Structure 1
Amino acid sequence: MIHWYEILLRLFLAALFGAVIGLEREHRDRAAGLRTHMLVSMGSALIMLVSSFGFQDIVGASYAELDPSRVAAQIVSGIGFIGAGAILLRKPGTVMGLTTASGIWTIAGIGMAIGGGMYFVAGSGTLLSFLILWGMRVLQRKFSNKFQNM
């Protein structure tokens, strides 16, 4: 088992990285904001910690076969289900919530990376996600009439 301070570090970093993306979404007044992103990221890290270290007492037992990737796959499926609920069809041809859904899915991946101890991967994913959400808006306004009023 890993030390308690490593567990706290992983959970704190997952919540912090979720907050970075959540603040951007909150600033844009989106349905999934600061708390949602923090909880999804930290919850994913928590599940990865349980998956990776929660069954140490039966490791090596002849009756048990462990595969932490199975839990990770379930996180991806579950978050996909939650994200699907964020997507709305307003009127024919107008879909809302795709960025929110993809953001929740991405933040779950960031939380999973933190839970797995992959700090550089999680930090890079957070930085790139923030740049995509914040920085690409400027390009969209400049090059697309669809985003002129945003």
Structure 2
Amino acid sequence: MAASYYGLPRTTLDVDFIVQLSNEQLDPFLDKLAGFGLEVDRTRIKRRLRAGYNIVTLRDKASQNRVDFIIQTTGKIHRRPGRALGLKSFYQSPEALILAKLRMIKATHPPERSFKDRDDIRQILANIKISRRKLFRLAEEQHTGAFLKEILELS
């Protein structure tokens, strides 16, 4: 939803949440998600988190909808207030959202599957004033600068 908030609104079958959890909070959190009818593969999730991949995608057992949880274990979650469907909501900053999408692009194989994320980045950059120099510096720090450069060249 954040990509639609900052960029071009589009239909989506997933919603993304940023959650801050300690290692001790992970199992109770996964229990709650399973109780809500989401498919929870604990072994896969924990293996991915140990490998440093902090995005967990879960499918709803009753529909084709998905939910992505971006799990943050340290630091402060930076967020901006907004509204979604008339409800008070919070969103990542556009810079943080772009950086997260660049990390997703880097982790997506084959690369063709990252088209939606690349397009989201283009739309955000077209609609929101962002320091591209700062964004590129942050992307370089996260080893995703080459992806950002490619997207900027095609914009």
Bigger radius of gyration, 1 or 2? 1
Name the structure with the higher helix share.
Answer: 1
Higher relative contact order (CA 8 A, sep 6+): 1
**TM-score scaled to structure 2, two decimals?**
0.26
